[in-house]
Amino acid sequence: MDKRHDRVHHRPSVQRHLSSARQAALLFQVEDDPRRAKGALPGRRRRLPLPGPDRRLVIDLAAHPNVAGLKESGGSLAFVAEIVREVPERFHYFVGSGSVFYPGMEMGACGAILAVANAAPEICAELYRLFQAGKKDEARRLQLDLLPLNKALTETYGIAGIKYAQDLRGFAGGPTRLPLLPVDEKGRAEIAALIERMAF
């Protein structure tokens, strides 16, 4: 391994993550939320948790060939801009917040990994397709359409809301596990109205 990838910083967090990357026979995707940094990724990839959005740490890790990209869930467009201009072109920056899907791509993100896509996959996929095709006005309208559902599922009702929305869509979200509780009647009515408004 070229030691230039291990150059610079001696902070424990950098060295720990670089050590994992050096020893891996697969690619890492950096995850900025440790609560979500569990489980497998498709192909020969795994998640590498970060303690939080740390610009210098991400840039340092991006220089390593075994670090494939970042999923950043904070929703900061300034953070997108700070990162994408300083990382290698091969490094993939995915936004993790449905509220900034379109503007995140405008700022240089290559795509998204979204909780709301569990309930509205076709809307998210179409937004991405339209953006890539240069049909930005249409993509922007879809982003605006997606905002109320995204807010309800990720900010108001969380995992229980996502599961209920999946059930409504026929995706079999299933029951929540304790200590999480199911969405109450008011929440179910709100989510159902938002799903109906999306006119899938």
pLDDT, tens digit, for every residue of 109-128?
999 999 999 999 999 999 99
Domain ranges across the chain: 1-113, 137-200
Do residues 114 and 85 lie in contact, with contact meaning Cβ atoms separated by under 8 Å? Answer: no
Residues labelled as active-site residues: 71
Residue at token pair 């990724």: 41
Q: pLDDT tens digit string along 63-98?
A: 888 888 888 888 889 999 999 999 999 999 999 999
- The pTM (predicted TM-score) of the whole model is 0.77
Eight-state DSSP code of residue 132: H
Predicted pLDDT at 177? 93
141-182 confidence digits (pLDDT tens)? 999 999 999 999 999 999 999 999 999 999 989 999 999 999
CB distance 41 to 30 below 8 Å: no
For residues 90 and 174, give the distance between their C-alpha atoms in angstroms, rounded to a whole number.
Answer: 37
Pick the CATH number of 1-113 from 3.20.20.70, 3.40.50.10470, 2.40.50.140, 3.40.50.720: 3.20.20.70
Q: Which pLDDT belongs to residue 52? A: 53
